[in-house]
Amino acid sequence: MTVRPKNEDLVRAWVLKAEHDLLNIENNLVAREIPWDTVVFHAQQCGEKYLKALLVSRQIDPPKIHDLTELYALLPDGLLADFNARLLEELNPYSIEGRYPGVWEPVEQGEALRAVEAAKTIRRVIRRVLPSTCIA
């Protein structure tokens, strides 16, 4: 008999939200006009939601923050072996810069595509350690 974690539904809900961010990215990448700032915002959000799914899967209540490095620091040591945490630092600014006007430089295609690859890497690494019953 397989025992389901009591928080499995919540983990699955976080994963589904992260997958929706990826779907938004894919939809934007085929648009006639691509809003690169929106692409990077959804890349950051995808990483954030996967980190929160992983925290919940480990019985850790994720704080209501957007800082990916702070979320990563809450994970048990060694959980994401060989993970390059610099990817989180690269995505971190987009939780603000991707949503609001400001004094930052406009996001260009190359930068946005690197952010998408970072989000996909985070997704791949985290999905390897999530319970298979929680993967959407």
Residue 1 lies in a domain: no
Residue 2 lies in a domain: no
List all residues 6 or more positions away from 85 whose beta carbon is below 8 Å from its beta carbon: 69, 72
CATH number at residue 125: 1.20.120.330
Q: What is the mean pLDDT of the chain?
A: 93
Which is more confidently placed, 136 or 87? 87
How many domains does one find in the chain? 1
Q: Is 127 in a helix, a strand, or coil?
A: helix
Residue 119 lies in a domain: yes
* Helix or strand (DSSP H, E) at 14: helix 8-29
- Say how many Å lie between the first and final Cα of the chain, rounded: 22
pLDDT band at 99 (very low <50, low <70, confident <90, very high): confident
